[in-house]
Amino acid sequence: MNVNPRQIRPGRRGVLSMELLLTLPIFATLLLGLFEFSLLFFARGDVVEASRVGARQASIQGATYEDVEDAVRLSLGPRMASRATVFAELGQYSGDEVIVGVRVPMSSAAPNLLWPIGFNLQGRHLYCQTRMAKE
């Protein structure tokens, strides 16, 4: 007994392409979001490390703001260093607290892929602040 597959389900033609058409944008948005979040997650680690490097530099006796800023920018690398803002409070005496903050725009760390669905990175920043005692 030979049965033609079209005779069993005559009204199911094109269902798979319609399901793909409905799920593909959701899947693509999910992948783009995962990619962008991963880039921001790793960039946050870079900003935290740059803040720590700057605070270590600031804790050395005789360090200047320019020394701290150079250490932070060198730690960040060229992609984020050009748009980074460095804040530093240098103590005068041994035992004083030094504070170094680093702020980087998220748009310099990730490509802003989700703006069509309303999640825009413009105007948002990655920020980290580190406090240490001056040597």
Q: Where are the domains of the chain?
A: 15-133
Q: Across-strand partners of 99?
A: 89, 131
Predicted confidence at residue 118, as pLDDT, reads: 85
- Please list the pLDDT of the chain residue by residue as tens digits (135 residues): 566 655 656 666 667 788 888 899 999 999 999 999 999 999 999 999 999 999 999 999 999 999 999 999 999 989 899 999 999 999 889 889 999 999 999 999 999 888 888 889 999 999 999 999 998
Predicted confidence at residue 16, as pLDDT, reads: 74
Domain 15-133 -> CATH class:
alpha beta
Helix, strand or coil for residue 125? strand
Six token digits for residue 133: 């005692």
Is residue 68 classed exposed, middle or buried when 0-12, 13-18 and 19+ CB atoms within 10 A define those classes? buried
Predicted confidence at residue 9, as pLDDT, reads: 61
